[in-house]
Structure 1
């Protein structure tokens, strides 16, 4: 009896959002394991970009009763294929909203497209593609009556190399991730759909992401400086782009659950970043009632035992004086304002139209695929492929007489005799859409498996997966090309040590590295796939390896084999996967993607060995993950530790060569090093002056090869007191043969600033900033200095 009382007491303390008083905050040490209280939750203020929507929302919500306001803050069991639905106010003709997965495409329905995943977009380094993907994808959500799309993903950021959901986000670098997230929010919301950027914040592992039994979810223990300079960075981009919703994550941060963490929600998101939209919980991530409401949670999904089926407990809390009605009013206002901000009050389809809760139930077809999407689907698939090895121009292929194709990832799942179209539409796992592991044999004896063995993958698994209209697998596209070229084919998809015809021109080996929500990966390579590659290479002197990888995949078991002539990181291209790959392999298009992460030579080179933190020692019931490396993850960690990677961040080959010249650095007039130059109001995204351009950099790129290609020029900066270098600009440009193109980079105040814990503000330091421009994080031929 005594032990139970102690347990209850400890749990109550650790679930509390107030472990220190605000007056005690004098350094960032309090952030290790403790989250300071910030109350009350600030109301929506109606900044200029949100003023009209705010005014309309205030007018509508003011007509609602307390019970009606509380009702729309909680989720209900969907009557459609929506992932969640809010309460409604029929008396005022407010229909509530449909919220659906995911940031990579609409799932659990028909007549939509399977888009390239976040990691694939990140590997493209293409702002416009990110925007166009979001715009057209958002159009599909709207056509199906979905008000809120659960994406983009910017957390996890990739601290844990084995993270099961890293593939849903864009990059391990906050600048690249944040830039593409901003474009995604902009495109999706211009289509009329609210973007719910997720998962806020530090949701860096799937292991112990949720409480289970007596064990709480893991706590990401982060200091204030690291939180601001790394994990918060892309969320600021999303808010600045106008994000109407932020999803709070499953995990704890400094021992306070994210969805009831007042410092994160009230203090940073709604005050510091000036966020004007609504905070929605991840599904089941609400762990308290009154505490989550006062800490800044606005909408609980998919239901709420804490706020009541119809928000009745919120109503009761107001009536007994435990909760101010103004908080419930603000919760409702933020939700309704987002509805108005996206223009959903006029001409928006009915909730979840054409999306029955059970997808194969007879229903009127709603065709959401816009024909104009085709070009962006194929372009997006093309540009996320990264060529990392190409010896003696093994690629492109030139009308081979005989091609041999190997590996479980080459064919479509239909050709592997597993499932059918309905499995894809419904989101049921066939080879990578959902985390139902029964379909995948335990090839390497590990659990969960590291590969999807039943055919090619175009997506990872879990709620981030989507519903493709069709699948172009590599073998599908190879067969069509072989028909055109009169090429003979030999294939073996099942054997780990297959036969090789000695007359073959090339051996194409297809493997994958699978990942899914709810499970972190068991490693960064698998013995079965490595053995397959080595066995083929031992018999074939022109072996070309393609990896569909849902995250980092190591290659050192075989990369230096003399018979392995080319290697492609193909990522997760969406439904046009094979079609895009063959255009690249045959030189109809050039590779132009670059790695959005670092490929090491060994797992040990990554922070914490690339592994998630596990419950241990005195904190077995309260798992702790201390982010002691600070901002030093991925290439910053490799630079700090002087570790040579196999392939560095930003690396990627094309079918031509480029040279760099003419670096010009210009500081703009009137730039001050004052922390917050007056006047500097708070706008969505933070202090307005942080988004001011303070310097401009230009450089010239020349195509010195013999094929017109696109190059991704990258700008890195050494900020005094920080990492050796940090990405602070990129530009993807097409350069004709023999031609030159000038690339331009704008440096904003935030790009050069550091977070000062004592003043709780961003500081632009005076002095010299080293700058580099080049083709990757370790190929930087141009260097200069910016003086502030």
Structure 2
């Protein structure tokens, strides 16, 4: 993840950009049908947090401002946006659930030093995210101590003065919700609001400071390249003012190649993500002498080209990414069938999603069947899916489930390769005797072919693990997360009635066994986890130590400036549809007269104050109270490749189980740390260290408004936390106990 962040940062810098609109940690993946889950890292706050923090570190070390998004509760695409007829849906989230699940990765992003945060389209608890003062001022800027800039999602700002006072710093892209005439809720309206006293001058200076502070922090004031490309055309020349209806043309693209050798990293990421779910009889890996028939249009790149569909808003050919604003153009596309043919030149390929009429295969012939499931942003509808998978649900697209069944009826050995944005229901064919192996190749991008064949043919052992659970039925989850919210008159209400219980947390609570559990992933070899030790690092108190006092804030003038500062510069010629902050003299004078008279056009909201307050006890540093990141316990475990034939990487996962008498409702186990080993040869070992911080063993107390360690006893004693170690959330056979500081092997899993 870190290396990927470095590569992204280098490419953004090479193109002369300033801001990277990523990483995505919202949606968290609460709803399996959610359209943009694929842009994030998985349905767990710690998984999302660690991946995002490493991405931010890698990107920002290259001098590029990272933007963590979408803040917050953007877990469904449909009905997310405010429009003239309906407000965006309201994600109704209780305080504890907000802190322990959805805010967790944002706090880790702030702790990692992220330069920007993007608000979501929807509302939270009835208030639009772009003007939700509790979320922006109260939690993000005060409790989490965020010092960077808060930007809106594109066209999501719905008020001028309200969003300014609520803490929004940048309106993207600046226009109103209908960007036709070049009007904005800010531009000169923000100038007018400062002059008439509706927005305090120091709030305006705070906006500017936060934006420029991120620019300085990344060193963009020194030798930062200027943009050398246009997102509006692939041609060398194009409009110099693309937002104008009429524009002079000139060179806008310099075709700077920033790829370097990043294809190797892209291949490694795609390869390490491939997850082997099933491998009966060791049918995988294949040999170069295997007799192979390949079925499914997903095996071959879109015949019209990998970038033929704008914003990738189609599911034609190999699925390498979802659709919407989170996509990129492929510089090339190495598809699976080409890579397979490089291994087995005589392979038979049936480029169809309907099973063809073929001769009866021999018992040693192998069918490799490719199926997909796609999703994306609500801006596009693909095959009747409105961003979310509202039409296809958790079934494979293009009749993929039937294709697998028909192949299984004809062949004795079937290998299924799935390119997907998220979980699917596999029950119609997963137990068929001839379905021997199943690979989730997820969304592999440009290196789809080589990354897959390296695993299929045994050059490497698969080492991917599921970032979500795969249930046997959609109804294994409660309705609040299993289903999308449909149309309603007025504001759609999406109430998080399941609380903390999403994905594996929900299944464990209900004692429902999934088809494949969160964290599941097989290998061509086996691993032994032994010699575990646990040591206490930092003694814990019930709540974190008191936060330090707030430092001085920047000293800004508060006197409304002269109206003349807002006049258009003499002789300036504006470009139609471009946004400028200046007013005509008569308008500026009129606004200043209101402000100077002390009668602002809009009254300040209730509770607005210019007095510095001490701030919440949970705050005090980047991401919250600095003590939350104190390491409480450290676990080491020896990982040995216990197989005889294949090298492989193990993914060691640590889950925490709270003391049984903790006075809080807590999930059975929760992921808290993980490490992937190097490729270990047969018999080779590596020692892995896993850490639990104060925050990892805390809960959010809604009355104290602080993180509480429920294991702390009166008199300084500590109840027993159990740290379960294994290779999946349901394969936890080793436990370490925090009270006795001992570890046991060969146990039955807690779930």
Partner residue of 1:612 out of 484, 504, 509 = 484
Q: 1:513 aligns with which of 359, 373, 376?
A: 373
Distance 1:358 1:740 in 2: 52
1:546-695 paired onto structure 2 within 5 Å: 546-608=417-479, 610-616=482-488, 620-677=489-546, 682-695=620-633
Structure 2 counterpart of 1:93? none
How far apart are 1:375 and its partner, in Å?
2.4
| Corresponding residue SS for 2:298 | coil
Report the Cα offset of residue 309 of structure 1: 7.7
Select which of 190, 193, 197 maps to 1:321. 197
Tell me the residue number matched to 1:763: 708
> Quick check: 1:744 aligned with 2:657?
no
Asked if the contact 2:538–2:631 (Cα under 8 Å) also holds between the matched residues in 1, the reply is no
Match of 2:214 among 322, 326, 338: 338
Q: SS at 1:709's partner residue? A: coil
Q: Shift of the alpha carbon at 1:675?
A: 3.5
Correspondence for 1:774: 726
Indicate conservation of the 8 Å contact 1:181/1:234, yes or no: yes
Given that 1:266 and 1:296 are in contact with CA atoms closer than 8 Å, whether structure 2 keeps it comes out as yes
The residue aligned with 1:389 is 278
Structure 2 counterpart of 1:359, from 234, 241, 244: 234
For 1:235, the equivalent position in structure 2 comes to 106
Give how far 1:378 is off. Answer: 1.4
Structure-1 separation of matches of 2:296 and 2:235: 33
Pick closer, same or farther for the CA change 1:659–1:629 going to 2, 3 Å. Answer: same
Q: TM-score, normalised by structure 2?
A: 0.81
The one of 330, 336, 350 aligned to 1:492: 350
495-504 or 166-175, larger mean C-alpha shift: 495-504
Question: d(CA) in 1 for partners of 2:111 and 2:353?
Answer: 51
SS at structure 2 position matched to 1:774:
strand
Q: Please name the residue that 2:671 is paired with.
A: 727
Distance 2:731 2:401 in 1: 29
Match of 1:478 in 2: 340
Shift of 1:183: 0.2
For 1:463, the equivalent position in structure 2 comes to 325
Query: Could you tell me how far 1:355 is from its partner in structure 2?
Result: 2.2
Q: Please give the alpha-carbon distance, in whole angstroms, between the structure 1 residues aligned to 2:231 and 2:148.
A: 28
Give the structure with higher Rg (CA): 2
Corresponding residue of 1:711: 650
Partner of 1:192: 63
For 1:279 and 1:607, how far apart are their aligned partners in 2?
Answer: 34
Gaps of 5+ in 1: 1-129, 441-451
Q: Does 1:259 align with 2:130?
A: yes
What is the aligned partner in structure 2 of residue 279 from structure 1?
150
**Aligned CA distance change for structure 1 residues 517 and 356 (closer, same or farther; 3 Å):** closer
**Within-5 A mapping of 1:142-153:** 142-153=13-24
d(CA) in 1 for partners of 2:293, 2:707:
57
CA distance in 2 between counterparts of 1:634 and 1:480 reads: 39
> Distance in 2 between the 1:215 and 1:538 partners?
50
User: 1:787 — aligned with what?
Assistant: 739
2: distance between equivalents of 1:493 and 1:674? 61
2:290–2:366 contact (8 Å) kept in structure 1? no
Distance in 1 between residues matched to 2:7 and 2:673, nearest whole Å: 26
Structure 2 partner of 1:400: 289
**Could you tell me whether the CA contact under 8 Å between 1:194 and 1:338 is conserved in 2?**
yes
User: 3-state DSSP class of the match of 1:275?
Assistant: coil
Between the aligned partners of 2:476 and 2:222, the Cα distance in structure 1 is 53
- How big is each residue's C-alpha offset from its partner over 1:150-206, in whole Å with a ceiling of 9 and x where there is no partner? 110000001111000000000100001100000000001011111111000010000
> What whole-Å deviation, never above 9, does each CA across 1:130-155 have from its counterpart, x for those lacking one?
11111111111111111111110000
- The 5 A counterparts of 1:401-420 are 401-414=290-303, 418=304, 420=305
**Residues in 2 aligned to 1:670 and 1:756: alpha-carbon distance in whole angstroms:** 20
Cα deviation 1:635-691 (Å, max 9, x = unaligned)? 000001111000000000011011222222211254333343565972211111111
- 1:269 equivalent to 2:149? Answer no
- Counterpart in the other structure of 1:434: 312
Instruction: Assess if the C-alpha contact under 8 Å between 1:615 and 1:621 holds in 2.
Output: no
Task: Output the CA distance in 2 between the equivalents of 1:679 and 1:291.
Answer: 31
Deviation at 1:260, TM superposition (A): 0.2
State the alpha-carbon separation in 2 of the partners of residues 545 and 434 from structure 1: 24
Is 1:696 equivalent to 2:634 in the alignment?
A: yes
* Whole-Å separation in 1 of the counterparts to 2:11 and 2:684: 39
User: What is the RMSD computed on CA atoms of the aligned residues?
Assistant: 1.8
CA spacing shift, 1:607–1:181, aligned 2, 3 Å: farther
Q: Deviations over 1:26-52 (max 9, x none)?
A: xxxxxxxxxxxxxxxxxxxxxxxxxxx
- Matched-pair contact (CA < 8 Å) for 1:511–1:546: yes
Contact 2:334 2:446 in 1 (8 A): yes
